[in-house]
Amino acid sequence: MPAPIRLRELIRTIRTARTQAEEREMIQKECAAIRSSFREEDNTYRCRNVAKLLYMHMLGYPAHFGQLECLKLIASQKFTDKRIGYLGAMLLLDERQDVHLLMTNCIKNDLNHSTQYVQGLALCTLGCMGSSEMCRDLAGEVEKLLKTSNSYLRKKAALCAVHVIRKVPELMEMFLPATKNLLSEKNHGVLHTSVVLLTEMCERSPDMLSHFRKLVPQLVRILKNLIMSGYSPEHDVSGISDPFLQVRILRLLRILGKGDDDSSEAMNDILAQVATNTETSKNVGNAILYETVLTIMDIKSESGLRVLAINILGRFLLNNDKNIRYVALTSLLKTVQTDHNAVQRHRSTIVDCLKDLDVSIKRRAMELSFALVNGNNIRGMMKELLYFLDSCDPDFKADCASGIFLAAEKYAPSKRWHIDTIMRVLTTAGSYVRDDSVPNLIQLITNSVEMHAYTVQRLYKALLDDISQQPLVQVASWCIGEYGDLLVSGQCEEEEPIQVSEDEVLDVLEGLLVSNLSTPVTRGYSLTAIMKLSTRFSSLNRIKKVVSIYGSSIDVELQQRAVEYNALFKKYDHMRPALLERMPIMEKTGTNGPAEIVQTNGETESTILDTKHLPSITQPASQANDLLDLLGGNDVVPVIQTTVPTKPASAGGELLDLLGDLSLTGGPTPTPAPSVPMSQPPFLLDGLTSQPLFNDIAAVIPPMTAYNKNGLKIEFTFERSNPNPNIAVITIHATNSTEADMTEFVFQAAVPKVCSFPSSSTVYGEL
């Protein structure tokens, strides 16, 4: 049989292939040849064949049939064979392969070979991909080599030990004695790998960490020598002596100094020295400075040093090299919480980075900017951030918008500014704001009583321009529904009032209903808004017409609303004004942590939120919209004032069920509430608590009208029972305002399992 072709020959041939198919054909042919050569157990050319196989494997073709051949090569006595064999093992024989373990014996032998380069091959292979079993078997050999005086082997053994420890952490102890004088080596290779080994051990074990703390002085000394010593050609990189070793030592110092005063103090000087003396014209110097800054920030360094570190980062921000800027922003982000004031000084540079071309830099600059916003700089920062929102990539817009809302909420200098800012966000990035921003904004607007006219006017104008951004449209329709009267009366103080007629307003709202751009949710909003205007405008007929049209809408949600509103016009017209009243102010009060809640049911607990965060609804946005819709246009008079009590959460279950049970056809006699489902009461109170309206337990719970329909009005009043504050007493007043008697009035109460009733739960009587 002719000799198999040489590796280079094969490579040349394959590269002449013009198509993928041609290449595949060549490869298949060669593989077949190699396979038969393997079958013949040809020792001479095994190495060449495996090498070719490895090349083909690199191109993406299967090479598993060469695995065993690699083992044979490793066992050979020719160095060439071993070299290719070990390479093949590293490429083809990772620990997931069955034959992986068969290598163990060969490696063991080679670890003890007389030629250091063979030992080196074995150490390298073991250290790159040895399995846990292999590591367990061979750890002893590695440990032995760690103590050798041959620095070529010692450095490899150290890194091999690192791998062993990663794979089998329990074996860490066994390497401890060998580490004794690792740092006294002069050889940089050994020093570097020893530091890596020590780092690994310290990171894995607090005991090791305390044990190795005593090395700090030695490490400091080594670092000092590196900096102070003159030019050393062997390790020099752009004028800096062995930057790899410097960085490694700095990192180990970081780990050793963290949380330890003495160690931190011992390294203060050298850190200051490195920070001030390192040449910064090239990347390599900056790499060292970077590591130094990270170390300074992590250990217990004195404040002067910390300021020095932050200033270095500030200088990095001005560096032409974008990599340096990137790294600076990342580090500043990590330190902004602890060293806020120092970072503030670099605010303008950070803000400039918002205009950088690189996406990663922009993102970091944005995050950092938000972290730096405070009461003093809010106006200036917001200008920059809004500009950024205008021009940034869509990926950023949602995060940026949320960040702006948060910042505005925390630091708004005035209500008008706040509303203007929100308007700006909605008009520029309206489609990207998160779903929960809509109810939050509505609440904000509701609470800014003096700004109602101004807000509704601005929103109206925005709608005239653009109805494609749903969050904007939803907020606008809601406001128009609420404050439409202010709009047409031209009452705005803050800016020039516009002349708008009722018909124009209704045109706009109706336009939303029919537009393709409006989502079903938006349509719901606009229908409700139109309905609300029936008590604020005088064009009743027009509104009635619109509402009745949608009574046969295909969209079930719209249809339901329209039918209900129709009913409101027809049968319950006397209720309409009260129901469609202005929304009361929804206040945010402080929230208590869940631990302090005495009696809760599932819902309240899950919706308790910290006022610091933008309240996020646990239910999808549509339910929250339904909430507002319910409050706006349903039977319950929104007497729910300042706070939401805990107890009525359970009452709410009954409440809602009362409502739910009373179908919209309505009946003359109210049927009593049947047993309340134990499931979460939907919508009403959940939606309410989506604003963090959580009551202070001690506060009084205001009375609430639970039901008011058809002449039957039921009110709940609440009291804490004096002896036992865990019990709330609900007094129910039922009044019959019709002329007829209501007979067979049955009241039953049921509560979720968390609460309990003291006595019988059924009341019979006549009203």
Q: Where in 131-190 is the site for other proteins (CB under 8 A)?
A: 131, 152, 155-156, 159-160, 162-163, 188-189
CB of 135 to other proteins, least distance (A): 12
Please, which residue, 120 or 632, has the CB nearer to other proteins? 120
Q: Is the dihedral of CA 585, 589, 593, 596 positive or negative?
A: negative
Between CA 240 and CA 328 the distance in angstroms is 21
- Whether 67 and 57 have beta carbons less than 8 Å apart is answered as no
Here the tokens at position 642 are: 């300042």
Please, which residue, 123 or 513, has the CB nearer to other proteins? 123
Please, which residue, 40 or 94, has the CB nearer to other proteins? 94
CB of 248 to other proteins, least distance (A): 9
Helix 470-489 crosses helix 502-514 at what angle (to 10 degrees)?
Answer: 160
Q: From the list 3, 8, 450, 466, which residue makes contact with other proteins (rule: CB under 8 A)?
A: 8
Is 79 a binding residue for other proteins by CB under 8 A? The answer is: yes
Between CA 579 and CA 631 the distance in angstroms is 8
CB of 225 to other proteins, least distance (A): 14
Residues of this chain, 319-378, that bind other proteins according to CB under 8 A? 322-327, 357-361
Between CA 724 and CA 726 the distance in angstroms is 5
Between CA 613 and CA 620 the distance in angstroms is 18
Q: Is 163 left (phi over 0), alpha (psi -120 to 50) or beta?
A: alpha
Between CA 143 and CA 177 the distance in angstroms is 9
Between CA 153 and CA 193 the distance in angstroms is 11
Residues of this chain, 663-702, that bind other proteins according to CB under 8 A? none
Q: Is the dihedral of CA 449, 453, 459, 463 positive or negative?
A: positive
Residues of this chain, 11-30, that bind other proteins according to CB under 8 A? 11-12, 15
Here the tokens at position 231 are: 């030019």
Residues of this chain, 255-294, that bind other proteins according to CB under 8 A? 283-284, 286-288, 290-291, 294
CB of 86 to other proteins, least distance (A): 9
Q: Is 718 left (phi over 0), alpha (psi -120 to 50) or beta?
A: beta
Is 113 a binding residue for other proteins by CB under 8 A? The answer is: yes
Please, which residue, 84 or 530, has the CB nearer to other proteins? 84
CB of 78 to other proteins, least distance (A): 6
Please, which residue, 364 or 452, has the CB nearer to other proteins? 364
Q: From the list 38, 45, 55, 683, which residue makes contact with other proteins (rule: CB under 8 A)?
A: 55
Stretch that binds other proteins, among 109-117, 426-434, 472-480, 523-531 (CB under 8 A): 109-117
CA 285 → CA 29, 236, 244, 314, distances in Å? Answer: 53, 12, 11, 16
Binding mask 294-313 for other proteins (x = CB under 8 A): x-------------------
CB of 325 to other proteins, least distance (A): 7
Within 10 Å of residue 531's Cβ, how many Cβ atoms?
28
Please, which residue, 123 or 655, has the CB nearer to other proteins? 123
Tell which residue, 176, 211, 206, has the closest CA to residue 194. 176
Binding mask 403-422 for other proteins (x = CB under 8 A): --------------------
Tell which residue, 138, 128, 117, has the closest CA to residue 89. 128
CB of 134 to other proteins, least distance (A): 12
Between CA 640 and CA 655 the distance in angstroms is 13
Is 199 a binding residue for other proteins by CB under 8 A? The answer is: yes
- Whether 7 and 48 have beta carbons less than 8 Å apart is answered as yes
- By CB under 8 A, the count of residues binding other proteins is 77
Is 34 a binding residue for other proteins by CB under 8 A? The answer is: no
Stretch that binds other proteins, among 94-102, 170-178, 302-310, 554-562 (CB under 8 A): 94-102
Please, which residue, 347 or 362, has the CB nearer to other proteins? 362
Please, which residue, 78 or 424, has the CB nearer to other proteins? 78
Residues of this chain, 514-533, that bind other proteins according to CB under 8 A? none
CA 54 → CA 31, 43, 61, 63, 90, distances in Å? Answer: 11, 17, 9, 7, 11
Is 196 a binding residue for other proteins by CB under 8 A? The answer is: yes
Stretch that binds other proteins, among 112-120, 273-281, 378-386, 667-675 (CB under 8 A): 112-120
Judging by beta carbons within 10 Å of its beta carbon (0-12, 13-18, 19+), is residue 39 exposed, middle or buried? exposed
Please, which residue, 39 or 96, has the CB nearer to other proteins? 96
Is 234 a binding residue for other proteins by CB under 8 A? The answer is: yes
Is 54 a binding residue for other proteins by CB under 8 A? The answer is: yes
DSSP characters for 267-310?
HHHHHHHHHHHS--SSHHHHHHHHHHHHHHHHTT--HHHHHHHH
